[in-house]
Amino acid sequence: MRPGAVHWQKLWSIVAALPMLLNGCGTNKTVLEEIVEQVYPIALNTDLSIHNRDGAVLVYGSDGNELRVRSAKKAYSRERLSQIAVDVSTTPGAVSVTAKFPPQPKWAFSDHSGTVDCTIVVPATASITALDLNSGEVLLDSMRGREVFCFISCLRYSLCACCCPLNCRSRPGSKPSCAKSECAHGKIANDFNNVASFQSSSARYMNIDQVINGGGSATIQIRLGRGNIKIAEANP
């Protein structure tokens, strides 16, 4: 066989194998989903901490005395889906909800997929002492505990309709491009560039709208019906 023919035979073997390699990346594959629901009795003034890597965190306050967690896990492969878990730990006065993911593979064509959307219903008087999200969306509704403390990296959207102080911090090294905060009844405090909040005579909300650190890929949007908002820069 001629040297040129050997070269083209090897090249054709590589091209023929590409579909199988790309299939490992999740290309042209259906997203698999698994939903798990958990219910626990808790105290009305429980401290709640939430930890998620990628997905959505939706928290609703209720008049009941129980914790309801509905977790929607999504991935491209059944193996990857089975490696994702949502751990709920309860102790007297404290509850934690943690989405656990397998380590990200180092090989470029491995399956890196996996998100968790957590819908959490807790007593409205519970306090969110930690909401740690690497990338995703946050919704807080009808909470009136002592505080809500968020620690985020890349937030696509955030909506808050609560009656408790909100403290939102960016993760070290992250670069949110814009912080938009609105508050109907309360105060807004901001650590970035000392930009003052303002309220026009025709506006319904006090608000801050500014670019942070020269811009980036994420936008933080916060709306609060009643209470206070504080946006703090990590390691100022």
Look at residue 81 in the predicted model and tell me its pLDDT. Answer: 95
Residue 17 has pLDDT above 50, yes or no: no
Instruction: Please state whether the predicted TM-score (pTM) of the whole model is above 0.85.
Output: no
DSSP the chain: --HHHHHHHHHHHHHHHHHHHHHTTTTT-PPEEEEEEEEEE--TT-EEEEEEEEEEEEEEEESSSEEEEEEEEEESSHHHHHT-EEEEEEETTEEEEEEE-PPPPSSTTS----EEEEEEEEETT-EEEEEEEEEEEEEEES--SS-EEEEEEEEEEEEEE-SS-EEEEEPTT--EEEEEEEEEES-EEE-STTPPPB--TT-SSEEEEEE-TT--SEEEEEEEEES-EEEE-S--
Of the segments 60-64, 140-144, 211-215, which one has the largest average pLDDT value? 60-64
pLDDT at res. 157: 66
Above pLDDT 90, what percent of the chain? 39
Q: Does residue 130 register a pLDDT over 60?
A: yes
**pLDDT at residue 201 is higher than 70:** no
**Lowest-pLDDT choice from 3-17, 23-37, 68-82:** 3-17
Per-residue pLDDT averaged across 133-161, rounded? 81
Residue 11 has pLDDT above 70, yes or no: no
pLDDT in tens, 83-124: 999 999 999 999 999 999 998 888 877 888 899 999 999 999
Q: What is the mean pLDDT of the chain?
A: 75
Residue 8's pLDDT band (boundaries 50, 70, 90)?
Answer: very low
Residue 149: pLDDT band (50, 70, 90) is confident
The whole-number pLDDT of residue 223 equals 60
Which position has the higher pLDDT, 29 or 70?
70
Percentage of the chain beyond pLDDT 70 is: 58
The pLDDT of residue 156 is 72
